[in-house]
Amino acid sequence: MIRKIVTSLKQFRRTYEDQKLGRQLVGTDPHGNLYYQYYDQNGKPTRRMSERTDKMAPFVDPLWEEWIRHIRDKPYTEEERMELEKQQRAYKTKVNEYEQKDAEMMQQFKKSNKTWNANKK
């Protein structure tokens, strides 16, 4: 019960601060960082910023970095993020398969090269 009250008060305080600073929370990343869109007095968007949960970590999610630097108009949705992660996993799997095949081919080459050198003498 008390935990719910404290959480509600924190949310209210954050909303109040957001209105006071002229910003709107756009989203969060898996690391808990918060991303804001700031507005001027006329309601025009001015800048985009992140608020890191861990001040010592210089990491900003690359997908959010695109939004902050105005490369993307809208931030990635959770579905887009999951699709990109799926593509990355598939890519890593293919790379591992190719590396294994390459290692096998190198071993075969070394064996055949030794055999060829032995026959040459």
Q: Per-residue pLDDT for 94 more than 90?
A: yes
Summarised one tens digit per residue, pLDDT across range 54-64 is: 777 667 788 88
3-state SS assignment for residue 59: coil
Strand partners, 25: 36
Answer positive or negative: Cα dihedral of 77, 83, 88, 89. positive
d(CA 96, CA 37): 40
**Where does the pLDDT of residue 49 fall: very low under 50, low under 70, confident under 90, or very high at 90 and above?**
confident
pTM to 2 decimal places = 0.58
